[in-house]
């Protein structure tokens, strides 16, 4: 049976047929692949059938149309359902669904990613899709001023993630009536019943208390679904909507309906045949729903990537904190590029993001103390073409590690800035000291990791970040240190600066950020003893300047002192040695100074000395390398 429905609102009889088709196709796709989640798809098939045919405004032939609604599967494991929808609207062929799902080299992956043009963000780590949707809804409501809605299908298990509540809290705070969450309450998680089961009242109480308009329905009653979606689609209120749909896992195939033990399991072939027969057989309906109302292009297109910004200028020798230079540079970028937006996690007066907030309040989003949502909001804004800079204390980016990782899978451009790094912060103690952030960010696929030592290089690198794809990270420093570079100096990503060099250097001192200053101090101490030391500012930790490092190794008989205000694992030291070892067979004599014990409070100076990162320790390490030659 092939029926093409081109009316803007398919009748419910057609919708019922479509729902059966989505179930059948979910079964066929997973059985053919030998893996995947048919039962988690079947519970939500009615919801999607009504949504896609009667409420979603989407031009399937132009997925980049700015007026399109957005559809996010926060329960990414229900990808068979999503891909079956793509087949039903005619953008994915049956052959691809049955032959490509979960196969090597194919785009219909186990969990959706933006490899598919109709997918905004990668999902599969639960509790993230709704949070990303908040970012898209922020863009729609406050920046693009588009009428699109953001529809997010959530699972009930993922509601246990705190990130869901961060998302709802922010959706209510920002009055995102353009955000609609549909929770597929099928009562069963992977290993058994969920915490709240079918206690829809309990869910409703929580959701309502968090400020959402809440609609509780039978998720298999097409009329009820239609009414709820119609209500939700009216976005004139000031609250997000959460539709709580009571559903049955495996709905439509009595053998598995509401039965534990069928999570993430495809049906064997004979069982799939029985299921398909019970569902009325294979169908090939082709349906299209509503198209979006055309709107003029938004300001999210065509502006330069920070190129025209007039960066702040600092006088060499003045003491300026790099975190301050971040705020200054961000304001400059904001002046030149309307696509630059900023977010912070309630510490903007420490990160200096508040400078941007004061200059461009309509392009600043306060995320309060919710780092997961901070990254997710930036992700959603990036999906809509904005150049989002997000900042907090560097230590607290660990809170959002999974979101950063998923951002890399989504392929979005995220610009993260972490202040208050390392033991240098002093009295606040170890909970506030980022000592693992460089390792974390280096291991993110395609990332760029920057750690400037002075205000001039910071401003230049913030500008460079605006044009950097993927996940970029800049680590700033709490204390004020001398400006080392004159205004206008270039700091290409992947470069470094050789601050001291002669033709008789005996050792190379490699630092980044605060340790550039202690390396310079060590070079001064060594110079007093007649020892010439080369000093390299590795402001670009990833990619790192392999050529300059190799030249330094050659010039100083392989003697390297690497000093980093970070744990010994995975940071600057690894970046340097990975680079040298990849390039050849270096004869290295290495002293790697890093934070190797648990710090307490103290002054930054005391703690840098305690960690062995001050000028005295660096000089001592250099002397020892030379002596033991």
The reply to whether 208 sits near a copy of itself by the rule CB under 8 A is yes
Q: Give the C-alpha distances (Å, rounded to integers) separating 21 from 48, 77, 264.
A: 11, 19, 20
# chain residues binding a copy of itself, by CB under 8 A: 114
User: Quick one: which of 115, 315, 547, 554 contacts a copy of itself (CB under 8 A)?
Assistant: 115
Cα–Cα distance between 435 and 395 in angstroms, integer?
A: 7
Q: Kindly identify the residues of this chain, within the stretch 62-101, that bind a copy of itself according to CB under 8 A.
A: 76
- Indicate whether 489 belongs to the interface with a copy of itself (CB under 8 A): no
Please say if 96 is a catalytic residue. Answer: no
Q: Is 616 in the site for a copy of itself (CB under 8 A)?
A: no
- The sign of the CA dihedral 476, 622, 497, 520 is positive
Distance CA 142, CA 411 (A): 24
Binding of residue 127 to a copy of itself (CB under 8 A): yes
Residue 554, H or E segment: helix 546-555
Please tell me whether residue 401 binds a copy of itself under the rule CB under 8 A: yes
CA dist., res. 518 & res. 528, Å (int): 15
Q: Which of 42, 330, 439, 618 binds a copy of itself (CB under 8 A)?
A: 439
3-state secondary structure 523-535: HHHHHHCCCCEEE
Residue among 3, 147, 316, 408 that touches a copy of itself (CB under 8 A): 408
Q: Single out the segment in contact with a copy of itself by CB under 8 A; choices: 291-299, 378-386, 530-538, 574-582.
A: 574-582
Q: Does 346 bind a copy of itself (CB under 8 A)?
A: yes
- State whether residue 345 is helix, strand or coil: coil
Q: Is residue 432 involved in binding a copy of itself (CB under 8 A)?
A: yes
Q: Give bridge partners of residue 57 from the DSSP assignment.
A: 290
Footprint (CB under 8 A) of a copy of itself, residues 13-42:
33-36
Encoded tokens for 506: 């005996």
Residue indicated by tokens 């059966």: 20
The distance of closest approach from Cβ of residue 584 to a copy of itself in the complex, given in angstroms and rounded to an integer, is 9
Q: Should residue 428 be labelled a site residue for a copy of itself when binding is judged by CB under 8 A?
A: yes
Which x/- pattern, by CB under 8 A, does the window 510-529 give for a copy of itself?
A: --------------------
Burial class (CB within 10 angstroms; exposed 0-12, middle 13-18, buried 19+) of 469: exposed
Closest CB 416 distance from a copy of itself, rounded Å: 14
Collapsed DSSP state (helix, strand, coil) of residue 276: helix
> What is the C-alpha to C-alpha distance for residues 444 and 421, in angstroms, rounded to an integer?
19
Residue 582 lies near a copy of itself (rule: CB under 8 A): yes
Residue choice 405, 478, 500, 517 for contact with a copy of itself (CB under 8 A):
405
Angle at 176 between CA 333 and CA 228, to 5 degrees: 150
Distances from the Cα of 74 to the Cα of 32, 151, 343, 404, 431, angstroms: 24, 10, 23, 16, 32
Q: Is 589 in the site for a copy of itself (CB under 8 A)?
A: yes
Are β-strands 70-73 and 179-185 bridged in parallel, bridged antiparallel, or unpaired? Answer: unpaired
* Residue in 11, 90, 205, 307 binding a copy of itself, rule: CB under 8 A: 205
- One of 542, 545, 555, 620 touching a copy of itself (CB under 8 A): 542
Among 17, 355, 371, 424, which one carries the catalytic annotation? 371
CB atoms closer than 10 angstroms to residue 294: 9
By CB under 8 A, name the one of 66, 452, 573, 612 that touches a copy of itself: 573
Q: Could you say which of 144, 169, 454, 565 contacts a copy of itself (CB under 8 A)?
A: 169
Is residue 312 part of the contact set for a copy of itself (CB under 8 A)? no
Residue 226 found at the interface with a copy of itself (CB under 8 A): no
| Two structure tokens written together for 297 | 């292009």
Residues that are catalytic: 371
């Amino acid at each position: 049976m092939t029926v093409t429905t081109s009316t803007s609102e398919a009748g419910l009889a057609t919708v019922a047929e479509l729902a059966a088709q989505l179930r059948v196709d979910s079964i066929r796709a997973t059985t053919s692949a030998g893996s995947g989640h048919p039962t988690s798809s079947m519970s939500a098939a009615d919801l999607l059938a009504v949504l896609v045919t009667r409420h979603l405004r989407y031009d399937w032939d132009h997925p980049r149309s700015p007026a399109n609604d957005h559809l996010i599967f926060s329960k990414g494991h229900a990808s068979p359902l999503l891909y079956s929808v793509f087949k039903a609207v005619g953008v994915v062929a049956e052959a691809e669904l049955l032959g490509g799902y979960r196969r090597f080299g194919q785009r219909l992956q186990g969990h959706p990613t933006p490899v598919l043009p109709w997918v905004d963000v990668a999902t599969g780590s639960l509790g993230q899709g709704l949070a990303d949707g908040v970012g898209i809804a922020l863009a729609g409501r406050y920046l693009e001023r588009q009428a699109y809605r953001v529809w997010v299908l959530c699972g009930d298990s993922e509601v246990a993630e705190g990130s869901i509540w961060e998302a709802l809290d922010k959706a209510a705070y920002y009055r995102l009536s353009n955000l609609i969450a549909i929770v597929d309450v099928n009562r069963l998680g992977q290993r058994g019943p969920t915490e709240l089961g079918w206690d829809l009242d309990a869910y409703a109480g929580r959701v309502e208390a968090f400020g959402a308009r809440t609609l509780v329905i039978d998720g298999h009653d097409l009329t009820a679904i239609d009414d709820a979606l119609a209500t939700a689609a009216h976005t004139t209120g000031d609250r997000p909507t959460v539709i709580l749909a009571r559903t049955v896992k495996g709905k439509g195939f009595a053998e598995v309906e509401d039965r534990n033990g069928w999570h993430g399991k495809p049906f064997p072939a004979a069982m799939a045949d029985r299921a398909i027969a019970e569902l009325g057989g294979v169908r090939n309906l082709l349906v299209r729903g509503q198209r979006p109302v055309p709107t003029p292009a938004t300001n999210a297109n065509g502006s330069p990537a920070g190129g025209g910004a007039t960066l702040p200028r600092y006088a060499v020798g003045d003491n300026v904190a790099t975190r301050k230079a971040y705020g200054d540079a961000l304001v400059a970028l904001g002046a030149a590029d309307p696509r630059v937006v900023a977010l912070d996690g309630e510490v903007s007066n420490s990160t200096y993001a508040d400078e941007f907030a004061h200059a461009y309040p309509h392009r600043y989003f306060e995320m309060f103390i919710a780092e997961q949502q901070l990254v997710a909001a930036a992700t959603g804004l990036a999906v809509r073409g904005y150049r989002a800079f997000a900042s907090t204390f560097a230590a607290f980016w660990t809170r959002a590690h999974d979101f950063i990782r998923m951002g890399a899978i989504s392929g979005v451009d995220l610009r993260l800035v972490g202040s208050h790094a390392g033991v240098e912060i002093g009295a606040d103690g170890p909970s506030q000291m980022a000592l693992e952030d460089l390792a974390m960010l280096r291991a993110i696929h395609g990332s760029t990791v920057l750690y400037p030592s002075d205000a001039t290089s910071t401003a230049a690198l913030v500008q460079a970040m605006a044009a950097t794809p993927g996940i970029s990270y800049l680590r700033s420093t709490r204390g004020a240190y001398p400006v080392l570079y004159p205004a206008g100096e270039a700091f290409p990503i992947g470069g470094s600066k050789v601050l001291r060099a002669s033709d008789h250097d005996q050792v190379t001192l490699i630092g980044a950020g605060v340790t550039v200053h202690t390396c310079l101090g060590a070079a001064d101490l060594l110079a007093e003893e007649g020892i010439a030391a080369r000093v390299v500012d590795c402001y670009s930790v990833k990619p790192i300047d392999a050529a300059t490092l190799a030249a330094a190794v050659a010039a100083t008989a392989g003697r390297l002192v690497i000093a980093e205000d970070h744990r010994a694992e995975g940071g600057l030291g690894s970046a340097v040695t990975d680079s040298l070892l990849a390039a050849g067979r270096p004869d290295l004599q290495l002293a790697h100074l890093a934070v190797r014990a648990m710090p307490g409070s103290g002054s930054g100076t005391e703690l840098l000395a305690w960690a062995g990162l001050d000028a005295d320790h660096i000089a001592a390490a250099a002397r020892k390398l030379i002596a033991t030659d």
